[in-house]
Amino acid sequence: MKREPPRRGMAGPEWDKGYGGTVVAREPEEKTAVAPLNSRTDGRSAGKPATRARIVAAARELFSERGYRGATTLDVAASANVAERTIFRHFPTKAALFREAAIEPVERIIQGFIDDWGGRQHGVLDLRTEVHQFYERMFQFGEQDRRLLISMLAALFFEDPERELFPELAHTLGPLLDALEKVFEVEARDRGFTLDPAVAPRLIVGMALGVTVHGDWLFPGREPPPVDVIITQLTELTTSGLTGGRRPS
């Protein structure tokens, strides 16, 4: 029996003409849902907290593995054992889900780093110990959500280059870098640093995150060195440069 396409307004898959004019079903593209009337505009509806938490946990895992585009809301629904429409009762769009599942955890880690590092007393420990502890905290930050960091970078550079979905992504590290700049200014005054406090701490953060996020590329075909070895090398490179404190020949 010839299968007829549904009339307009009927639920079901969308229909297209296939090869030779035959009518074939085409799955609808992933929707950008409009928030229901009983939802708050930020997507944090008054649904069951346990259901929402399950959705967020499943989304965080899938976004970490597949990135923003690769993980569909159908995938998240299946992983969280809910209907896809349930996701859109809690989140008005997939982008809102990505914010809560992938971006907000990284922002909380960054804020924790700022609170911990910025609030401590500086100038008490020797320079190498201070720098070593700084790198330890940076690696903890990077290792906690390495895959989320990668998915955020992918979203920033490849999936949302116009900054339409996630305008905040370009500024995620901003508070951390600004806080470190202020710390560096104090350290520079007390210890006699001559490096630019607006540039040097950003390069240091770049080194730490680069090793954390791109470690597989930096040590291809070999076992990466232990983290404590990397931290020690970064500490020496930061405090003494390539010469290790010796005058180059």
167 is a domain residue: yes
pLDDT at 165: 85
pLDDT at 12: 37
11 is a domain residue: no
pLDDT at 21: 41
Prediction pTM value: 0.67
The region, left, alpha or beta by phi > 0 then psi within -120 to 50, assigned to residue 245 is: left
> What residues pair up with 23 in beta bridges, in sequence order?
17
CB 180 within 8 A of CB 173: no
157 is a domain residue: yes
61 is a domain residue: yes
pLDDT at 179: 85
18 is a domain residue: no
Contacts of 89 (CB under 8 A, 6+ apart): 36, 39, 45, 47
pLDDT at 245: 53
Contacts of 210 (CB under 8 A, 6+ apart): 218
197 is a domain residue: yes
pLDDT at 229: 94
Count up the domains in the chain and report the number.
1
210 is a domain residue: yes
Q: What is the pLDDT along the chain (249 residues), one digit of tens a residue?
A: 444 444 444 333 333 333 344 333 333 334 444 334 344 434 444 457 899 999 999 999 999 889 999 999 999 999 999 999 999 999 999 999 999 998 888 888 788 877 876 676 766 778 889 889 889 888 887 776 788 888 888 888 888 888 888 888 888 888 888 988 888 888 888 888 888 989 998 999 899 888 888 888 888 888 889 999 999 999 999 998 876 555 444
Residue 25 is encoded by which pair of tokens? 């079903």
What domain range is 236 assigned to? Answer: 49-240
* CATH for 70: 1.10.357.10
pLDDT at 144: 65
pLDDT at 25: 38
164 is a domain residue: yes
